[in-house]
Every structure is written in structure tokens, then in C-alpha cells.
A and B are shown apart, each in its own frame.
Chain A
Amino acid sequence: MVQSMNNAGKKNILTLALLLLYVLIALFALMPFGIMLKSSLEPYSSIVSLDFHFLPNPFTIENYIEVMTQYELPRWFLNSVVVAVVAILLNLVVDTLSAYALQRLEYPGKKLMNVLVISAQIIPVQVTVVPLYLMMVKLDWIDTYKGLILPVAISPFIIFFLRQSFMQIPKALDEAAIIDGCSRISVLWHIILPNSIPALGTSVVLKFMWVWGDYMWPSLVTKNNAMRTLPVGIATFQRAGGTIPWELVMPSAVLSSIPIVLLFLFLQKYFITGLTEGAIKG
């Protein structure tokens, strides 16, 4: 009797400890978002006030109005959207076509092409950024959408990822279609693509996330305030004067996180498969 009571007591303590651990981990992961949101909804004087509070005090949406009307934020948002959407579309075309050629067709030089894609995959952007920047200066592509988009219009990782998913589709399907008179392109369109929707979805969310969060390249290739993307623009807030205008930074941070967090909530599975595979293979 005493023994079993002890066991039950032990179990309760364990459950309680576990519960506490879960709460602590969630707080660690989410607290910064909470404070970001809170600070975006109160005036600067409250943000820097020394008595700490968990809710905006006083509550105001003035910061959002100010940053939307008196700064370039809407333009940066638009730039980020344009760059992300066009980059995704270009990637879908370029990566799908090449993944298809790499997986399904036979031609001299196929091995070489494979090597090319693999070696491109291990080159970090940080290594190519200097010559790339000089190239943009020479081409006069600084402060242009071309300069922002074209260097990210291809992703060796996505080519690999798509190639792998095309591998799962039986070749017999292609052959049957070709006997029926389909061309190579219509095989891709009518057989391969409809059978790889999840992989395409993963590619889209990954590319969106990468481009949306990208900092180093857009910060080099844009000099004009109006051509900046969101992350680059938000980071420039810190340079004005000595102190940082948190009442501008926080609402901008909220607005730039919303699209990607929403996308994550709705398409969780794609993010998680893509990122874990990307981390392992990339």
C-alpha cells in the first residue's frame, strides 16, 4: 500500500516536471515573438520603460500607421514579394526542366552535368558574393530587380530534390505515353508534374523562405533605399542616429514575419520535410 502510494507520488512529480519542461521550451521558442508583438503595439517610451510589462501599455496601432505611411516599408514589402514570386517561378521552370533531363533522358555529357550540379550545391553563397557583386557593378545591375532575382533563379538543392522525387514515378508511364505519340515535354507536363505535387510544394515553400529571409546578397546589390527588400530595409533602421527606433523596427518585424509564419502554419508538412532533407542533403 505504502509502496504503491510512493509510486503514484513519484509519477505525479515526474508528470509535473515534464509539464514544466514543456512549458519552458515553448516559452523559450515563442517568448521573443510575444515581446516583438507587444512592443509593436506601444509607443517608444513604453518600449524603453524600466518597469516591465507583458501587454502593450498604452495600446496603440500608431507605430504601424507611421511605418506604413512615412517610411519605405510598403515598397520594401512589395520588393520582397516581387523578388520571391519571380524567383519561385523561375526556379520552378529551370529546376524542373533540368531535374527532368537529369533523371529521365539519356545524352552525352549527362555525368558532367551531374557533377556540375553537385559541385554547385556545396559552394556557399558567402564564397561567391565578392565576384558576383563586382559582376553586378560591371553590368550596371545594382539596384535592379534583375540583380536581386537572377542569382537566386536556380537552386542546385531543389534540382536534386525534384530529381529524387521524379525517380519514384515508374518509367513505364513515360514509355506508354511516348508510344502514344507524346513528346518529351508533354510527358513532363502530363505525367511527371502531376505525380510530384508534394515535392513541388516543398520546393516552393523552401525557396520562398530562403528568398524572403535573404540578407547578404540583397544588402550588397541594393544601394537605393527604394530598392531594398524587407530584411535589408529593416536592418537600416538601426543606422539612423545612435539609438534604434524600436517603434519602427517592431511593427516592420511583425509584418515581415506574418507571411512566412502563416505559410508555415498551413503548409507545415512541406516546410518540415523540405528543411530536414535540405539540411541532410544540402
Chain B
Amino acid sequence: MSKRKRQEMLSAYALLFPAILLLLVFMLIPMINSAWYSLFKWNLVGEKKFVGLSNFSFMFVKDASFKKALLNTCVYTIINMVSTLILALGCALLFQKQSRVNSIWRAIIFVPVVVPMTVMGMVWKMLYEPQYGAINQILSAIGISGPKWLFDSKVAMLAVILFNVWKEFGLYSIILVGGLQKIPAELYEAASVEGANWWQSFRRITMPMLRPIMFFTTTILLINSFKAFDHIWVMTNGGPGNSTTTLVTYIYTKVFDSVGLASAASVVLFVMVFLVTMVKNYIGRDGAIDE
């Protein structure tokens, strides 16, 4: 090996050293530990006892609270994904053209994205107050008596989803604006020469051309929905009853009394995220999308 090459190698290792150290200590080793701890029965103070896969079989077969959390996570994911996509696409279509007004509006819908999730969760908790909260007061002004939102186990899940839609639709909308702006204008011109109306060109041009970016947006929404926690925790604590517990609120509450179960649930979450990521990358690599 030439002297120059060896020098290059040594400087590379020196430059990478802090990153490798931090990645290993704070991400990869904890990840492996998570899988390892999931095989034990352990509550922090007591003794660690190896139990094989029985944490998983307990969770999936007997543990009603885990099953409920998993079910809730699915419900949350589906409703959140669909409503965010619809609102984001609507706004993207509305604000796609480059103009001064549109760029102001794009900034407006982006403001909720940047502020801290839990802080705004607290603000929405006040808006949702059944008696004096702004939402029910406005509803009652137009003659509707609103539900008890976060205090009603049938509505609480919808309420936390609505908050999340508010918090994040701007982000997905801007991503979709990027996608829309990449569609060549000639396509629309040709369609209008042929006499196509708005709906026809939307169906025949916009939707197919937007499919790759829609696919990506959907996978990101899926992953983010699986991880839902912060706002739910401050708004409902998983309640009332366990109507808003999710996979991550389950993990969070189990950290202190059952490390084994918390870790097993983390593994379940990881597998879900991993699968979606693989599908996303696989299709991305197939050339279905080019950035």
C-alpha cells in the first residue's frame, strides 16, 4: 500500500470514529439489546429470567391491552393516512401554481409542522374541552352540540387523529406540490386542446403522473402513524379506558414495570417499520420513481 493510500485510510478512520462510536452506543447496540431483552422476564429491580419467546406469545394471545394497542395503532394508521392524504392532496392542487399568494399559503399550512408536537397537543386539549373549549363553543354557535371529545372513549381516537392531521397535512401537501410541479405542462395543454375538462385531465394525467410520489407519501405516513405517541400521551394518556393506547404508549408504560414486554413490543414495532421501509426501497429501486 502506498504511503498516500495509507494516510488516506488513517484519516478516514479518524474522521469516522466519533460517528461510529455514537452510532454503535446509542443506536445499534440498543437495537440489539431491545431484541435481546425481549427474551427475558424482568422488571428493573428484580432478577432477569430467560423466557424465550413467551413474551411474544403472551402479548399476542393473552395480553388484552397489547392486542387493543395493536388494533388501535391500525385504526389510527388507516384513518390518519386517508384523511391526511385527502387534505394534503387537496391543498397541493390548490396551491401548486407559482404565485405570491400561493407561496404565502404554503407557508401558512407549514407553520403547524414546525412547532413542538406535545406543546400543540396541550393547546388542542384545551380546544377540545367539552364545556368551554373553542371547538364545542363554535359548534354550539351554529346549533350543533359537540361530543365530549377526549373524554368520550368513542370519539377520543378521532380527536387525536384530527389533531395529527392538523399538525402534519402541511408537510405532505408540500411534498405533493413538488410532485405536481414536475408534471410537464405540455401534457395539460395537449389535453385541453383535445377538449378535456378539469376532471378528465385530473384522472388521466395528474393521478397517473403523481402515483410514484403518492406511493412514497403513503409509506412515510404509514411509518409515522405506527410511531404515534407524543400527542396521544399528552392529550389522553392512552385513555379514556384504553381507547387511545397505541404500540408506543404500550412500550412507554411498560418501561418501568416490564422491560421484557416493552422490548418485545419494540421488536414488533421495528418489524412493522422495517417491512414498510423495505417495500418502499424495493419499489423505489425498481425505477418506479425518480427524484
Contacts and interface: CB of A to CB of B under 8 A. Distances in A.
Interface string A121-141: 011101111111111010000
A213 B16 contact: no
B113 A275 contact: yes
**Most chain-B CB neighbours within 10 Å: which of A110, A135, A235, A237?**
A235
Contacts of A279: 171-172, 175, 217, 220
A153 B16 CA distance: 14
Interface in A103-160: 105-108, 110, 113, 116-117, 119-120, 122-124, 126-135, 137, 150-151, 153-154, 156, 159
Given A26-B108, A131-B37, A256 B116 contact: yes
Main DSSP-derived SS at the B contact region: helix
Interface string A220-252: 100000000011101101100000101001101
Contacts of B91: 25
B108 A280 contact: no
Interface residues of A, number: 94
Given A52-B134, A131-B30, A126 B37 contact: no
B166 A113 contact: no
A220 B22 contact: no
Interface in B25-46: 26-31, 33-34, 37, 44
Contacts of A48: 129, 131-132
Interface residues of B, number: 86
A32 B171 contact: no
A50 interface: yes
Contact of B107 (A132, A156, A268): A268
Contacts of A150: 22, 26
Interface string B72-97: 00000000000000000001001000
B105 to A, nearest CB: 6
A173 B60 CA distance: 58
Nearest to A98: B19
A47 interface: yes
Given A101-B11, A127-B269, 17 more contacts: A21-B94, A26-B108, A29-B166, A32-B124, A35-B126, A94-B22, A105-B8, A128-B26, A131-B263, A135-B30, A151-B26, A153-B26, A209-B114, A249-B123, A253-B120, A260-B115, A261-B114
5 contacts: A244-B126, A253-B119, A261-B114, A261-B115, A280-B291
